[in-house]
Each structure stands twice: as structure tokens, then as C-alpha cells.
Amino acid sequence: MAQKDVGNKIPIYKLKTTDEVMKYYDDWGLKNKYDQDMLDWKYSGPKETVEVFKKYAKDKDVKIFDAGCGTGLVGEELKKFGYNYYDGADLSQKLLDLVPKKLYQKLSKIDLNKKIEIQNNTYDAVMCVGTFTFGHVKPPALDEFIRITKNKGLICFTINEGVYQEYGFDKKIKELNDKKIWNMKEFFKSNYIASKDVNAWLGLAEIIK
């Protein structure tokens, strides 16, 4: 199947470096344009992902790490379903500044392509929505997510279909499956940003330690 040309519809998909992405998001956050665009584009990633997550995370007091939280769209969905403890992290301070007050227990400015300064087995779950995409976070971040997640904890994520093979997410997921580092419970193609003809793989895995 031919690669979809979505770069003209979503310019950030053309960016390659972390610095370029950070500057774009900092500008995108001005006057709440980011949140308005997500609304206009009918971005369904956060809602779809939390819908899957809540099927497996029955305990509303689990401690969740929202990796690449942006302005808090996943946090808003977690709140709707009564989850109580979630921390957020993002590369863009401008987007973090737009997160509603008291939505998260803690917010951190973090580059998820580097080692995360969090102790092993800290969280019951990691959510990563909209972050595995063009010019953003690469497959090795999954190792860090697994490291900071407890045994039998959950990792719930989306991977933009355009980078799934190009960035090697297909190989990374196969490796984690083959080595029985996790047990993949759900993995399917989601609508993601249907209005822009952008789909993503949505996965949920249980960690085995």
C-alpha cells in the first residue's frame, strides 16, 4: 500500500529532530491552538486508548505515568473514568503550562528518547498516546516504560501507522513478544485522527517480570 502523504495536512510530521519538534509544539501551544486543532481534527487517540485501558485496569487507584501528556488530553479521559493517581511528562514546557491545574499529581519536562529519571517498578501503568510518531519518540523508549512499570503492570500506547515500520516499532514489538517481556492483550488499527486520514496502531500489554 502506498504511503499516505499526511505531511501536508499535519506539518509536524515533516520534522526530524527533537529540537525542531519542541519548537513546533512550543509555538503550537500559543493561544491554546493545539487543543483547538485536536478538537477540530476530531483527534480520538486519548479517548480510544483510555477506553481500552479501563477494560484491564479495574483498580481506580493504580499509579499511572502519562508519557508525552501534552496539554493533558489523556488525563482528562482518565479523570472521567474515576482514576485518581497519574503523573504527566512532556518535552514541551509550553504544552505542560496548558494542563488544567490539579489534573495530574505531578508534571515533569522530560525527553522520552533519553533515560527516564524514575526508579524501577514505580508505576502500575504507562500511557503513551500520540507520542510514537514522526520525529518524536523512538522504539527504545518502550524499554524504559517497561523498566519503570511493575510486574503485571500495563503499558497502553499508540504508534502512528506511518512510522510503525520506518522507525522499527514492528521489530521492537516482535522482540518484546518473543522474549516474553510482555503479554500483548490488545493490538489493532485505531481511527486516531480520522479527519486527516491518519491511523495508528493501538496496543495494550501486560508486563512480565
Question: What's the pLDDT tens digit per position in 26-73?
Answer: 666 655 666 666 565 556 789 899 999 999 999 999 999 999 999 999
Of residues 200 and 194, more confidently modeled? 200
**Contact (Cβ atoms closer than 8 angstroms) between residue 59 and residue 86:** no
- Give me the residue label for grid cell 524501577: 120
pLDDT over 70 (residue 185): yes
Please name each of the domains of the chain with its CATH number. 11-97+104-207 (3.40.50.150)
Residue owning grid cell 508519557: 67
Residue 8 is predicted with a pLDDT of: 43
Rounded to whole angstroms, the Cα distance separating 69 from 144 reads: 16
C-alpha cell at 52: 481500552
Q: What is the pTM of this model?
A: 0.85
**Residue 202 CB contacts under 8 Å (≥ 6 apart), including other chains:** 48, 49, 52, 156, 157, 158, 186, 187, 188, 189, 190, 192
Phi, psi of 87 (to 5 degrees): -105, 150
Phi, psi (deg, nearest 5) at residue 38: -60, -40
